[in-house]
Amino acid sequence: METERRKKCVAFKEYCTQCLRRPDILAKRRFGEQIRIRIKKRMTDVLKRANLNQIEMEYAEARLIAERENIDILGDEERKRILLEMAKELNNLESKLLHEVAEKKKLQSEKKMINATFTLSFAVRRWRVKGILRLKFLDTYEKLFDKSYQAFYYRNKKTVTFVFSSFLHQISQLR
């Protein structure tokens, strides 16, 4: 990321230099004119600094220094613009990520709700089937206790047969 940002800044500085030296299209010419205006304003600052430091400086030398400083300032402005752009992109990515996480949680909770619904409906069906089975069982069989064997047995009311079965005992205990 850092090298990409530096490359963009260097490319922008080269673009500024091209706009000053050899503008081939109208947009470059206009931008070059804006840079020249900034350079003229900057030249007065460069000459003032040279006078304060008691350095003799020619106009052409002051112009080159002002040009370099202006291009560096423009490069810094471009770097700040790139950083702001990257920060916006990062915020957009973070908001998208948060939205995706929220959607994922929502889907998970919906899946849990569906699973709970299936589990509950299965339990209700099982409970109803047990009740129906118990009623049919009570219609068909009668539970009796044999004192001599000390055990339960079941008598079929329709066929009058006797059955000793643990399965039938479990069905009779259903609630």
Residue 107 lies in a domain: no
Q: Considering the entire predicted model, what is its pTM?
A: 0.53
Contact 57, 67 (CB under 8 A): no
**Cβ count near 74 (within 10 Å):** 20
Residue 39 lies in a domain: yes
Same domain for 161 and 91: no
Same domain for 163 and 86: no
Same domain for 71 and 144: no
What pLDDT, on a 0 to 100 scale, did the predictor assign at position 147? 86
Same domain for 92 and 6: yes
Q: What is the pLDDT along the chain (175 residues), one digit of tens a residue?
A: 678 778 888 888 888 888 888 888 888 888 888 888 888 888 888 888 888 888 888 888 888 889 899 988 988 888 898 889 889 999 999 999 999 999 999 999 999 999 999 999 998 988 888 888 888 877 888 888 888 888 888 888 888 777 766 666 666 665 5
Q: Of the residues 51, 79, 96, which one is the last residue of a structural domain? A: 96
Domain extent, residue 48, equals 2-96
What pLDDT, on a 0 to 100 scale, did the predictor assign at position 173? 63
